């Protein structure tokens, strides 16, 4: 059962925060929803947004300014939290890049994380079902995008589930997590040392496989060249190279002077919503 935590009028639609008891996580989970005015008279397409390290369900709706563009196109926006909260796992809050606020959109298999840290299944299954059951969203018109850790998540979820997501894009994604400190730390902690398990959550590896989804509008990625994490953590060139090798349509746009934060995202979020709208709104 959904509990409405708060609601605000926004661009003639509504911005909400919901809370529910998650069976997948075994804890309460929160997510934000923007419903455009068109949702008052019928079902609308939807975009799921996955946020980055340390973020919550509130980060995107407060900072990105995407509601204006979603209202214009008649698209709903859904943004879950980035991890379980209150799992009471020792060390869960010791680091900003692992544990609370850093679920990495995987289903953990290593204890003590395996019981609660199941963000992959939560987003692709439970949250999707909750949204479709309770909100005026079209099941056949859903896209996904995200930023940094969430950009990694969006790419992975889309490539593995093209039957669920018709469009995908990302801002400064962790594009090759098996090769960077953030990803190695997260995958080792959540999945153990078997790198074949890591590959199932690495977009640069997935895109080489025959089962990887191909998307009508291609994959759009924006990357700031003043991003402090670009060289060590993000590696869009690996995804770009592997996509070309496998014949996938991936566009990486590089922007001088832009860093890793939400000023960057807010600059280009309208173009991302339009990218999805070309596929979802017809």
Q: Which amino acids are annotated catalytic? A: 148, 227, 260
Nearest to 146 by CA among 48, 67, 44: 48
Q: Does the N-terminal peptide bond of residue 112 adopt cis geometry, omega within 30 degrees of 0?
A: yes
Pairwise CA distance, residues 256 & 206, whole Å: 29
């Amino acid at each position: 059962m959904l509990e409405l935590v708060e609601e605000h009028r926004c661009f003639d639609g509504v911005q909400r925060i919901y809370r529910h008891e998650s069976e997948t996580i075994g804890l309460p989970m929160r997510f934000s929803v923007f419903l455009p005015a068109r949702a008052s008279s019928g079902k609308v397409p939807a975009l799921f947004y996955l946020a980055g390290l340390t973020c919550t369900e509130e980060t995107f709706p407060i900072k990105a300014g995407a509601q204006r563009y979603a209202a214009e196109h008649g698209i709903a926006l859904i943004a879950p939290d980035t991890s379980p909260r209150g799992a009471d796992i020792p060390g869960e809050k010791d680091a900003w890049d692992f544990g609370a606020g850093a679920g990495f959109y995987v289903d953990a298999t290593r204890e003590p994380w395996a019981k609660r840290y199941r963000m992959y299944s939560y987003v692709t299954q439970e949250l999707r079902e909750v949204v479709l059951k309770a909100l005026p969203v079209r099941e056949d018109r859903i896209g996904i995008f995200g930023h940094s850790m969430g950009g990694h998540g969006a790419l992975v979820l889309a490539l593995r589930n093209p039957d669920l997501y018709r469009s995908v894009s990302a801002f400064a994604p962790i594009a090759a997590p098996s090769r960077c400190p953030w990803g190695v730390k997260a995958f080792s902690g959540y999945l153990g040392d078997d790198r074949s398990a890591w590959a199932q959550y690495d977009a640069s590896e997935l895109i080489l496989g025959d089962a990887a989804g191909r998307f009508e509008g291609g994959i759009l990625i924006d990357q700031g060249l003043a991003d402090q994490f670009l060289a060590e953590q993000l590696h869009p060139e690996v995804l770009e190279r592997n996509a070309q090798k496998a014949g996938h349509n991936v566009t990486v746009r590089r922007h001088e002077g832009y860093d890793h934060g939400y000023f960057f995202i807010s600059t280009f979020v309208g173009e991302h919503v339009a990218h999805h709208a070309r596929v979802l709104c017809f």
